[in-house]
Amino acid sequence: MPLPLQGLSAIVTGAGRGLGRAEALELARLGAAVVVNDYGRPGRDGSGDASAGPAEEAAAEIRASGGTAFAHTGDVSDFAQARTLVESAVDAFGRLDILVNNAGILRDRMVFSMAEEEWDSVLRVHLKGHFNTTRFAAAHWRERSKRAGEPVFGRIVNTSSEAFLAGSAGQPNYAAAKGGIVGLTTSTALALGRYGVTANAICPRARTRMTEDVFAGIEQPSGGGLDPLAPEHVAPLVGYLASPAAAHVNGQLLVVHGGMVAVVERPRVAAKFDSKQDTFTYDELEAVLGPYYADRPAGETFAAAEVLGLKRG
């Protein structure tokens, strides 16, 4: 029986370590040929010298297991380098089928003390990085579809975060970027559906270099059991969303960690009030909205996140 991704090619960004590495290994295990992209800077804040080491090591591990992979060390936040990344997959494999956007950095700071560069750098790597690769992959699939006169196979899996869902006081840049990625995902899903391409986003919870302080108080299981926060819990969902079996899954946001997958609904109207005249007055708004919010805990509009027990991640 052929593997689910046999004959398909994939790009995984930020794949030298952590989640991206686990995802690249999973796609390869399912049969895909993988371009392992990682800029290779050692600091989780994007500091340090770029290095080919992490990407090369992950690609070598795939090849050692009998898979097909090569490393790409470009910076996906750079428009031209993102173009080169997509072109390298097409040149090597004849086409691109799967794009997994995972690359990111952290520059944590409270909003009242955040520097402009700390804001810009996180938005650039996360949100612009997702856009850059999506832009060139989307153009590739659109061109192929028009040439064939029918839909083609294309899958995008983007990486958002629970910081977008439930808030994160010390990460206004990160939370904003991750919220923007959801908007980019749903827009892309609508734009590319006619060409046979799906776009979905995940909110993973995993113990990685990026989240080492977040989960520092949660001990790993003794006795050699798999850590509930291991990236290997997230990778299978990425493999599924990248597969032909997920053709009907498009424009969705899913939370995943520790053997749990939750489908997040799009925002719904929680309450509605109509003015008794042409437009609302200040006093009328206070009369309807004041009691409504006074009877509810702050942030109750994000009840879906509370039900899932979501925390910063």
Active-site positions read: 161, 174, 178
**What amino acid is encoded at 69 in this protein?**
A
DSSP annotation of 124 reads I
Buried b (16+ CB within 10 A) or exposed e, 173-199: bbbbbbbbbbebbbebbeebeebbbbb
- Nearest in space to 105 (alpha carbons), one of 218, 12, 17: 17
For residues 197 and 141, is the Cβ–Cβ distance under 8 A? yes
Q: Tell me how far apart the alpha carbons of residues 184 and 83 are, in angstroms, rounded to a whole number.
A: 18
Provide the CB-side half-sphere exposure for 138 (13 A, CA): 20
Q: Which two tokens stand for residue 292?
A: 């409504």
Q: Residue 98: enclosing H or E segment and its boundaries?
A: strand 98-100
CA 257-22-162 angle, 5° bins: 35
What's the CA gap between 45 and 68, in Å, rounded? 30
Task: Return the amino acid letter for 194.
Answer: R
Rounded Cα gap, residues 250 and 98, in angstroms? 14
